[in-house]
């Protein structure tokens, strides 16, 4: 059925709306169960590898639920309360293996897109699939967390971030699943040209985000390669057997998106702070790092040559590629966009990248309180620096293109 046929859409029975909402809800709940099941299985394998490691096999359910909550950016208490200077303090952990949340989000977006696209749903029903999937995904995660780890693990931070991790992928899957004509109708109702500008900026922003994340991932990858002997020594010092070593390596891979985000923050200039040490293109500070092998790849304390600040040219180079992509987007609807039209869309790209970076930085943070790890993660304002460097690259490209056009148009 064509989505643009309002008569046929209006004849659909109300019961069908409930059916598609239920379908989306079942898929959302299943994906949440898979994510938590993965965390529980990892905790159980850790017990199998080291039965005397401090927890029982039955504790794997609670530990897995807490790991899943941490992966969504939540904060959980752990350990016994302690007294310091007359105050009762509680140890807390914030942040975890972001890979688990990203995989869950990708699966949720793909399922929503697939259901909406294959069924050829009308506008209301397509939105119902996305809403049902997002709500069930979040509610299932909340029920599992409370049921397995207790109500104290249900922090306000987890509620907000996990809700975003459910709503945003479902909304993205919805936009990717419905026909482009329907997306045009939705964004066309926005005030002025705001909807049109955002539509045109979405694809260039996505391409720029992929390039930036790839560049950010290369930073920890290169550190692991160049400082592999130090990482190997830290790994050997733990005295793990083969199964324990494999499990630890797989567990560290769960933090790969966190490391890629930290690498991108480093390329942007502000850098990251880990265990009281600040890492920027200008150098590294001295801090207290836990005995995690991957952290041995971090640079040793000391200053770096000022030329290292040239790494900020990476986001500038990404911004250089934005205007041509914006022009291609405009070419699909008009013959040629003016300078103001292109500039507005470049600004929208930078704003979208900055917003995405700010959210990613919150999810990628890892902290432990009280102690030196209380403020660990990307440093404040890194997202603004990233958007600014990309905007600078786009501005330079626009200026270069304008100068070239004037030279070509001047017969002299």
Residue 153 DSSP one-character state: G
Are 175 and 252 in the same domain?
A: no
Question: For residue 139, is pLDDT > 70?
Answer: yes
Alpha-carbon distance of 342 to 348, in angstroms, equals 10
- What gap in Å lies between CA 280 and CA 303, rounded to an integer? 9
pLDDT interval class at 291 (50, 70, 90) = confident
- Over 70: is that where the pLDDT of 258 sits? yes
Percentage of the chain with pLDDT > 90?
44
Q: Residues of 84-108 as b/e, b for ≥16 C-beta within 10 angstroms?
A: eeeeeeeebbbbbbbbbbbbbbebb
| Cα angle: 326, vertex 329, 334; to 5 degrees | 115
Top-confidence residue, 130 or 84: 130
Q: pLDDT at position 10, please?
A: 36
pLDDT at position 288, please? 74
Domain count, the chain: 2
* Average pLDDT taken over every residue of the chain: 86
2 within domain boundaries: no
The whole-angstrom separation of Cα 41 and Cα 34 is 10
Distances (CA, A) of 304 to 157, 280, 300, 309: 36, 9, 10, 9
Residue 387 maps to a domain? yes
The whole-number pLDDT of residue 86 equals 63
What residue has token string 């208490």? 77
What's the rounded Cα separation, in Å, for the pair 220 and 166? 28
Q: Using pLDDT thresholds of 50, 70 and 90, give the confidence band for residue 189.
A: confident
Residue at a domain's end among 138, 172, 189: 189
Tokens of 345: 């869309």
Q: What is the pLDDT of residue 101?
A: 93
Asked if the model's pLDDT at residue 14 lies above 80, the reply is no
- Calculate mean pLDDT across residues 66-76: 88
% of residues, the chain, pLDDT over 70: 90
Closest CA to 105 of 159, 160, 35: 35
Q: What is the pLDDT of residues 147-180, one digit of tens each?
A: 988 888 888 889 999 999 999 999 999 999 998 8
**Which residue, 160, 189, 218, sits at the end of a domain?**
189
Q: Report the b/e string of 251-282 with b at 16+ CB within 10 A.
A: bbebbbbbbbbbbbbbbbbbbbbbbbbbbbbe
CB neighbour list of residue 89: distance below 8 Å, 6 or more residues apart: 81, 82, 83, 370
Find the Cα–Cα–Cα–Cα dihedral 217, 348, 160, 276, rounded to 10°.
40
6-20, 56-70, 186-200 — which is least confidently predicted? 6-20
Alpha-carbon span 194 to 94, nearest angstrom: 36
Mean pLDDT along residues 404-411: 77
The answer as to whether 3 is a domain residue is: no
Whether 216 and 133 share a structural domain: no
The pLDDT tens digits for 315-365 are 999 999 999 999 988 887 665 668 888 999 999 999 999 999 999 999 988
Q: Are residues 134 and 237 in the same domain?
A: no
* 301, part of any domain: yes
Q: Note down the domain range covering 229.
A: 198-409
- Residues 109, 237: one domain? no
Q: Quickly count: other Cβ atoms within 10 Å of residue 112's Cβ.
A: 29
Count other C-beta atoms under 10 Å from residue 56's C-beta.
9
Give me 61's structure tokens: 């359910």
């Amino acid at each position: 059925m064509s989505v643009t046929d309002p008569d046929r859409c209006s004849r659909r029975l109300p019961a069908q709306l409930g059916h598609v909402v239920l379908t989306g809800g079942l898929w959302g709940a299943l994906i949440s169960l898979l994510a938590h099941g993965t965390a529980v299985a990892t905790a159980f394998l850790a017990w199998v590898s080291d039965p005397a490691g401090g927890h029982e096999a039955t504790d794997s359910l609670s530990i897995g639920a807490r790991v899943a909550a941490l992966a969504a950016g939540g904060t959980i208490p752990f350990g016994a309360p302690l007294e310091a200077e007359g105050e009762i303090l509680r140890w807390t952990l914030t942040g975890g293996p972001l890979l688990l949340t990203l995989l869950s989000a990708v699966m949720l977006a793909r399922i929503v897109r697939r259901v909406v696209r294959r069924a050829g749903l009308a506008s209301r029903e397509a939105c119902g699939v996305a809403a049902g999937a997002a709500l069930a995904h979040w509610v299932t995660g909340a029920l599992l967390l409370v049921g397995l780890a207790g109500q104290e693990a249900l922090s306000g931070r987890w509620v907000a971030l996990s809700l975003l991790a459910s709503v945003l992928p479902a909304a993205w899957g919805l936009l990717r699943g419905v026909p482009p004509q329907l997306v045009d109708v939705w964004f066309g109702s926005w005030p002025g040209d705001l909807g049109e500008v955002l539509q045109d900026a979405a694809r260039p922003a996505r391409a720029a985000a992929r390039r930036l994340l790839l560049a950010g991932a290369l930073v920890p990858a290169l550190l692991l390669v160049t400082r592999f002997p130090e990482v190997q020594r830290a790994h050997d010092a733990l005295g793990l057997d083969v199964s324990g070593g494999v499990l630890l390596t797989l567990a560290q891979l769960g933090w790969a998106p966190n490391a890629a985000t930290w690498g991108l923050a480093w390329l942007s200039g502000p850098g990251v702070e880990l265990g009281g040490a600040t890492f920027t293109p200008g150098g590294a500070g001295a801090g207290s790092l836990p005995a995690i092998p991957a952290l041995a790849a971090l640079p040793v304390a000391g200053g770096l040559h000022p030329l290292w600040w040239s790494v900020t040219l990476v986001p500038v180079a990404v911004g250089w590629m934005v205007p041509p992509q914006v022009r291609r987007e405009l070419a699909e609807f008009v013959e040629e966009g003016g300078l103001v039209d292109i500039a507005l869309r470049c600004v929208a790209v930078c704003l979208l990248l900055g917003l995405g970076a700010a959210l990613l930085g919150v999810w990628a943070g890892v902290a432990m309180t009280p102690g030196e790890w209380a403020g660990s993660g990307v440093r404040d304002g890194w997202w603004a620096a990233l958007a600014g460097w990309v905007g600078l690259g786009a501005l330079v490209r626009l200026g270069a293109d304008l100068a070239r056009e004037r030279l070509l148009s001047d017969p002299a």
